[in-house]
Structure 1
Amino acid sequence: MLKLFIAILFSATCLAEGGSIIKKTEYGTLYKFPANPAAGYNFDYLLYYPAKLKLSRAVHILVETNNTGRLSDSIAVHEIAAINQASESGVGNYTAEKLGLPFLVPIFPRPAKEPLLYTHALDRDSFLQKNRLDLQLIAMINHARLQLADKGYVVKQKIFITGFSASGTFANRFSMLHPEMVQAVAAGGINAMVILPKDKLSGKKLQYPLGTADIKNVTGKKVDLKEYIEVPKMLYMGEKDDNDAAAFDDAYSIQERELIYSLMGKGLTERWQFMRKIYEEEGVAGEFITYTGIGHGTDLKINDALAEFFKKHWD
C-alpha cells in the first residue's frame, strides 16, 4: 500500500520527460528537469511558474543563469543556490513574479578542481569547451518551451535574459553570441565590462570575451552585429561598486587584463564611461545606468526598474 501511495504521489508531481515539483508556495511553483544529453543539455535545470503566470497572454521565457558565488565540485551546492535564486531571491525571480513570466534557471557547475573555468560568467575557458554552456542553455530553453506549450501556454520565440554579477556577465555575452534569440537583456554588476561589438581596438585584436575577433573561428557562426545592435539593453552598476572581476585570474587571463587596463581603463568609473562611449559610437541600443548610493547589489528601486524595462519591451 505504501509503495502504491508513493507511486501515485510521484506521478502527480511529474511533467513530461521527468520534470517534477520540488517547491510550491503561494507565490509560485518550481519544477526541476533532469539532464537530457539527447536533447542537448548535460545538467539539470529549473523552471519557475509564478502565480501570476496566465494562459491568456503570450509570454517570453525569462532566463537567468545560476551564480553560486563560489567554487565547489559538489553539484548539490550549485543546485541549492539555483533553487533559492529561482524561487526566492535575485533580480530574475522578482521580475518573473511581478510580470507573470515563466523563469528558467540552469544548474551549471563551477568546479573547484578547475578554478580558472568560470562557467557562471561564460568566460573564455568555458567558451572554448567542447560542450559550450550557451548551447546547452539554448537546448534547455527549447525544452522548457515544449513543457509550457504542453500546459497550454503560448510562448514567444525570443527570450528575456537577465542577471547580476557573473550571471549578468553571462547574459551580456549570451546576447552577443545569440542576439536572434533575445527580445531584451538586462545585465547588472558586470564590473564595468561589456563585450564590445568590435574585432579590434587601437590596433589590438579583441578576442572573446573582450570583443568579437575570433567568435566565428570558435563557433563556426558569424556574429550578427546588426541584430545585436538592435537588442534593447539595460546595463547598470552601483556608484559604490568596487567589485572588479578583471583583477582575478578566474575571470580574465593576464593578457586580457593587460588589454582591459591599457585600452579601457583600470578604474571602474573610467571603464564604465569608456564602454558607454564605444556603444554610442557603434550605435548600439542600450542604456548605461549608474545608481547612486549602491555598491555591488540591487535594491527595490533597481528591481522595479528591471521589471519596467522588460514590460516595455514585451512586444
Structure 2
Amino acid sequence: MRQKIFCLLFFIVSSNLCAADLVVEVPANPEKGFFYPFFLKVPEATETNYLIVETNNTGKVSDDLNIHRKSARKAVLGNALGPWVSKKLKAPILVPSFPRPEKDWEMYTHSLDRDTMLVESGKLKRIDLQLLAMINEAKSVLETHSITVNEKVIMTGFSASGTFANRFSLLHPESLQVVVAGGLNGILMVPSSSLSGEELNYPLGINDFEEITGRAFKKEQWAALPQLLFMGENDTNDSAKFDDAYSDSEKATIYSVLGKIMQPNRWKSCQNEYLRQNANVTFRTYENIGHGTDLRIHNDVLAFISENI
C-alpha cells in the first residue's frame, strides 16, 4: 500500500509529453529542506547530463497554492526558455511551485525580492535555499531512473523568473554551470556595494549581502560564471513602476543611480557595471521584439548553453 501511494505522488504522466517522457511531482519535504512541491520532467532518453532549473512565474498573486502548482506543472510541459531547451538537449528540468501570496502582496517571491529574502520564519523562509534542497532531491529522483547529472545546474528564466535567476546567480554562483535570463526590466542586481555614492542593498547590490545571507559574496565564482542576459529593444515592461517589485526607497535609488529610463539608459548602466567587474557575460538587445521571446532568441539561448556545458 505504501508503495502505491509513493507512485501516485511521484509519477504523473501527461498526454502532452513526448513518447515516454515523464513528469514527476515531488511533494513538499520539510525534513529535506523544502516546503513546496516541485515538478521534474525526465526525458525518455537523456542526452545531456545537466539538470535545467527554471523557477515558476504564475503571473498573478493568489493564496491558493494549487493555482501556483498547476501553473508550475503547465510550465514544465510548455515552451518557455528552460522547457524548450530541455526538449532540444534532452535534459531533465525542474520547476518549483513556489507561491506568490495575495495576503502579503508586496512579497514578490517569483522574482526573489527583498521582502522574500527577509522572511524570518515559516514556509517561505529562504526559498533560495529551498530551491537548492529541491535540486538535491531532484538528483536523487533522477538516480532512481539511472540518470546522473552534473553537480552544477543550468538556470534559465524570463521576466520574473529571469530576475530570480539573475539574483540567484549572485547568491549561489557555485551551484550554477550557466545562467540565461531575459526580460529583465533593464535592472540587474549588480556585484557592487555602492554606485555614485549611494549604497546598494539587496536586491540592487551587495551592500548588505552578508547580513542577509550569512556569508560573503563569492565574487570570483560569480565573475567566472557564463551568463547570457537579454532584453527586447521594444520591451516596455518596467518593474520599477510597481510597488510589489520595489519599495519607494529602492525605486529612488534605481532612478538616481541606474536611470529612470529603462532602455537604453538603465539597461546600459547595468551592463557597464557587469563589464567593469569583469563578469563572464554576454549581453544582447534584440531588435523588433518587446517583452517576449521568439525562435531567434531560443536558438541563441540553445547555442549559448551548448557552448558552456
The question of a shared fold, defined as TM-score above 0.5 by the shorter chain, is answered with yes
The answer to whether 1:194 aligns with 2:184 is no
The answer to whether 1:150 aligns with 2:144 is yes
SS at structure 2 position matched to 1:14: helix
The answer to whether 1:276 aligns with 2:271 is yes
Match for residue 285 of structure 2 among 276, 290, 300: 290
Aligned equivalent of 1:110: 100
CA deviations 1:243-270 (Å, max 9, x no partner) are 0001111000100000101110111111
Unmatched 5+ stretches in structure 1: 1-6
**One-letter amino acid of the counterpart of residue 53, structure 2:** V
Aligned equivalent of 1:235: 229
| Residue 123 (structure 1) shift | 0.2
Aligned equivalent of 1:46: 39
Aligned equivalent of 1:3: none
| Residue 304 (structure 1) shift | 1.3
Distance 1:165 1:296 in 2: 8
116-125 vs 216-225, which moves further: 216-225
Q: Which TM-score applies when normalising by structure 2?
A: 0.94
SS at structure 1 position matched to 2:7: coil
- The answer on whether the counterparts of 1:52 and 1:97 sit within 8 Å (CA) in structure 2 is no
Alignment of 1:186-265 (within 5 A): 186-265=180-259
Aligned equivalent of 1:4: none
- The answer on whether the counterparts of 2:186 and 2:266 sit within 8 Å (CA) in structure 1 is yes
SS at structure 2 position matched to 1:23: coil
| Residue 291 (structure 1) shift | 0.5
- The answer on whether the counterparts of 1:23 and 1:31 sit within 8 Å (CA) in structure 2 is no
Aligned equivalent of 2:18: 26
SS at structure 1 position matched to 2:220: helix
| Residue 200 (structure 1) shift | 0.8
- The answer on whether the counterparts of 2:28 and 2:38 sit within 8 Å (CA) in structure 1 is yes
SS at structure 2 position matched to 1:169: helix
Distance 1:52 1:98 in 2: 12
| Residue 50 (structure 1) shift | 2.7
**One-letter amino acid of the counterpart of residue 77, structure 1:** I
**One-letter amino acid of the counterpart of residue 295, structure 1:** G
CA deviations 1:64-114 (Å, max 9, x no partner) are 000000011111111111111101231111000000111000000001111
CA deviations 1:126-182 (Å, max 9, x no partner) are 011131110000000000011112221121100100000000000000010000001
Q: Which TM-score applies when normalising by structure 1?
A: 0.92
**One-letter amino acid of the counterpart of residue 63, structure 2:** D
The answer to whether 1:170 aligns with 2:170 is no
| Residue 52 (structure 1) shift | 4.3
Distance 1:141 1:81 in 2: 19
Q: CA RMSD in A?
A: 1.6
Distance 2:13 2:213 in 1: 36
Match for residue 58 of structure 2 among 49, 63, 68: 68
Distance 1:94 1:261 in 2: 35
What number of residue pairs does the alignment pair up?
302
**One-letter amino acid of the counterpart of residue 19, structure 1:** F
Distance 1:246 1:12 in 2: 46
- The answer on whether the counterparts of 2:11 and 2:22 sit within 8 Å (CA) in structure 1 is no
SS at structure 1 position matched to 2:23: strand
Unmatched 5+ stretches in structure 2: none
